[in-house]
Amino acid sequence: MSTINNSRRNFIKTAGTLAIGTTLPISLVELAFAESSQNFTFAYISDAHIQHIKDNRFVRNWDRGLIRAVAETNLLTPKPDFVMFGGDLAQLGSKPELDHGAEILSALHGNVHYVMGEHDYYLDLGEYWGKLFGPQYYSFDHKGVHFVVLNSIKTYDDWTFKRWPTAEQRMLEMADLDNPNGSPFMVGEEQRVWLKDDLDKIDKDTPVVVFSHSPLQKIYKGWNFWTEDADQVQALLQPFNKVSVIYGHVHQIQYNQIGNISFNSVMATAWPWPYPQAYAQAEQYLPKLTVPMNRADPFFDRDATGWQFINLANGNLDLDYTLYNNTSRIVRYNTDKKRPEDVAYQDEKARIVPQTHY
Contact (Cβ atoms closer than 8 angstroms) between residue 117 and residue 91? no
Q: What span, in angstroms and rounded, lies between the C-alpha atoms of 92 and 74?
A: 28
Q: What is the pLDDT of residue 36?
A: 47
pLDDT tens-digit series, residues 71-115: 999 999 878 999 999 999 999 999 999 999 999 999 999 999 999
Share of the chain above pLDDT 70, in %: 78
Mean pLDDT of 42-47: 96
Residue 329, pLDDT score: 85
Q: Which pLDDT belongs to residue 270?
A: 92
Q: What is the number of other CB atoms lying within 10 angstroms of the CB of residue 97?
A: 25
- pTM for the model: 0.85
Q: What is the DSSP-derived secondary structure letter of residue 197?
A: H
- Could you give the CA distance from residue 181 to residue 158 in angstroms, rounded to a whole number? 13
Percent of the chain scoring above 90 in pLDDT:
59
Least confident of 48-52, 169-173, 198-202, 288-292: 288-292
pLDDT of residue 275: 62
Of residues 137, 132, 133, 134, the one with CA closest to residue 154: 137
So what's the pLDDT on residue 296? Answer: 53
Greater pLDDT, 159 or 285: 159
| Candidate from 116-120, 159-163, 164-168, 273-277 with smallest mean pLDDT | 273-277
Segments making up each domain of the chain, as ranges: 2-355
The CATH code for residues 2-355 is 3.60.21.10
